[in-house]
Amino acid sequence: MNWIIPGKILAMSSPALSKLEGSSPETYIEYFKDKKVKAIVRLNEKLYVETLFTDNNIRIYKMEQ
């Protein structure tokens, strides 16, 4: 993860259910809560279960094509 605009825009690789594909959504959730991240803009194919974020009040905006 890298902050593009500190405190505003954070870039990260896609969460994934398989450790071979990336970090799990749970890896991100506590950090997001601590940093008050409220939304995710997904630019690629979904590799995770969205409810892991939405159940934690993190919205997901889908922009993949």
Q: Is the residue at 19 inside a domain?
A: no
Q: What backbone phi and psi angles, to 5 degrees, belong to 3?
A: -75, 125
Q: Is the residue at 64 inside a domain?
A: yes
Q: Which domain holds residue 51?
A: 26-65
Q: Is the residue at 11 inside a domain?
A: no
pTM of this structure: 0.80
What's the domain count of the chain? 1
52 burial level (CB within 10 Å; 0-12, 13-18, 19+)? middle
The pLDDT of residue 65: 67
- What are the tens digits of pLDDT across the range 11-65? 988 888 877 787 888 889 999 999 999 999 998 888 888 999 999 999 999 987 6
Listed in sequence order, the DSSP H helices in the chain are: 25-35, 51-54
